A and B are shown apart, each in its own frame.
Chain A
Amino acid sequence: MNETITPITVGELPALAQKMWDEGMRLVTLTAVDLCDGNLDLLYHFDKDLTMSHYRLTVPKTETVPSISGVYFAALLVENEIKDQFGTDFSGLALDFGGHLYLADEVKSQPFCKLSITKKS
């Protein structure tokens, strides 16, 4: 792959979103990958004039990730989908479907994880 993915931490995420917004970058999408050791890889893809830049955030599956939908409104749809499929909680979502964007109300497990985690709420 000819594009590099820059690793970031959870604390740097809100500042990164604001920096990308100020530079005029467009949010393309988020990708979630299940690394089978209990961690989740969240990739953020940004684009400006057809040049892309990517950022990788590796978090344990139980951690809550701050949402960037306050800065990028378009992110709320992707973050809701990741919540449905992988069970990650995003704090501060502009429009929260509560894990039922795709899934019916009675579904309790996360369909995409190879090893699901159970949340104690």
Chain B
Amino acid sequence: MARTILPFGPQHPVLPEPIHLTLEIEDEIVKSAVPALGYVHRGLEKLCEIRDFHQMIQIVERVCGICSKIHAMCYCQGLEELMGVEVPRRAKYLRVAWSELHRIHSHLLWIGLFADAFGFESLFMQCWRIRERIMDINEATTGNRVVVSVNVVGGVRRDLSKEHQTWIGEQLKLVEKEVLALKSTIVSDYTVKRRTQGVGVLTKDQAHQLGAVGPVLRASGWAQDARMLGYAAFDELEFAPVVEYDGDCYARLVVRFREVLQSVDLVRQALSRLPEGDINVPVKGKPKGEVITRVEQPRGELLYYIKGNDTKFLDRLRIRTPTFANIPPLLAMLPGVELADVPVVVLSIDPCISCTER
């Protein structure tokens, strides 16, 4: 039987962002896949030459819409390390609280999209309805639903009053109750298991050799989480990386579901231990030198390389996003998969192509 070349993407109903894969198919089984990127390349790294390093915070936030606050946090952390600024403890705890809220909403968004990929639309709608509570928390406490813009170099811009904290606690109780009500459908449903178990397997060795990060790595048995580095008050909170061992799409679904519950617990810990103090310190001077920082985005490990040359424009800003690192494992997962399962496998790495191509 001759091989067929099938283009997957850039427009596809399951893809949140455009990526093109050229699939070679024989008898409906994929034999190989070649990616083609560049549909949303905006050249944001080069903008650091004409926007000064304070204005770059807003630009860096817009690399990705779903994990925007975490990009800004990594950038501010890098600059603070470079300029020797000590962030107050209250600001660190507030950053943790907002980061973990972002992780909850990103994972809920992904579970909804993943369910939509194999046709389970009512689960998609239920997950996004729960996510609306987190969007309301974002809007009330920071001023915006999606791109929250609360980080500055030296701390955060907004504070959480006591009323906000109690209200967030009540909303999180409702979120946890509703997520646990969906647990039996997401984790134990027969149809979900048939579509996802054994599909797109990434073995433990492959995950390490191809440089997988985030839930893709943790679903293959490696207990690695960049939050263990202890940045921004994570060293004072108690948590352990969520690990599964099968390496297929079902394992990735279970990892992300358990991370939602872990993040709810982390927000509660951060808010209960919130210390008093300032929320930011004034910053003077210009960055000089090189620094490399890493944080844990919902999709994996994010790395920033910042080089300053003592002017208000940075010399070089390099962003390595987790989806960029997860594309080679995707190319290794696809051979052997049936054509109808290709959307499920592509979505299981949580592709954020606007992050990949900045």
* A-B pairs with beta carbons under 8 A, tally: 72
CA distance A94 to B255 in the complex (A): 32
Instruction: Looking at the assembled complex, report how far the CB atom of A69 sits from the nearest CB atom of chain B, in whole angstroms.
Output: 10
Known contacts: A24-B208, A33-B307. The answer to whether A111 contacts B228 by CB under 8 A is: no
Q: Which one, B101-109, B143-151, B187-195, B320-328, is touching chain A?
A: B320-328
Find out whether the CB atom of B224 lies under 8 angstroms from the CB atom of A112. no
A104 closest partner in B (C-beta): B38
Q: Which one, A7-15, A43-51, A57-65, is touching chain B?
A: A43-51
Which residues of A lie under 8 Å from residue B211 when comparing CB positions? Answer: 26-28, 72, 74
Q: Does B305 contact A (CB under 8 A)?
A: yes
Q: Does B164 contact A (CB under 8 A)?
A: no
Q: Does B210 contact A (CB under 8 A)?
A: yes
Known contacts: A26-B208, A28-B320. The answer to whether A50 contacts B228 by CB under 8 A is: yes
Indicate with 1 or 0, residue by residue over B35-48, a CB within 8 angstroms of chain A CB atoms: 11110010101100
Q: Which of B81, B224, B316, B318 contacts A1 (CB 8 A)?
A: B81
| Chain A interface, number of residues (Cβ within 8 angstroms) | 30
Which residues of B lie under 8 Å from residue A43 when comparing CB positions? Answer: 305
Known contacts: A28-B303, A29-B320, A33-B315. The answer to whether A1 contacts B46 by CB under 8 A is: no
Q: Does B184 contact A (CB under 8 A)?
A: no
Indicate with 1 or 0, residue by residue over A22-36, a CB within 8 angstroms of chain B CB atoms: 001011110111100
Q: Which of B41, B305, B325 contacts A102 (CB 8 A)?
A: B41
Q: Does A117 contact B (CB under 8 A)?
A: no
Q: Does B5 contact A (CB under 8 A)?
A: no
Find out whether the CB atom of A77 lies under 8 angstroms from the CB atom of B38. no
B34 closest partner in A (C-beta): A95
B35 closest partner in A (C-beta): A77
Q: Does B271 contact A (CB under 8 A)?
A: no
CA distance A74 to B322 in the complex (A): 12
A-B CB contact pairs (8 Å), 23 listed: A1-B82, A1-B289, A1-B291, A24-B208, A28-B303, A28-B325, A29-B303, A29-B318, A29-B320, A29-B325, A33-B315, A34-B316, A54-B292, A72-B211, A73-B210, A74-B210, A74-B328, A76-B328, A77-B35, A101-B37, A102-B38, A111-B43, A111-B46
Residues of A with Cβ closer than 8 Å to B? 1, 3, 5, 24, 26-29, 31-34, 43, 45, 49-50, 52, 54, 72-74, 76-78, 95, 101-103, 111-112
Closest 5 CB pairs of A and B: A74-B211, A102-B38, A29-B320, A74-B328, A31-B318
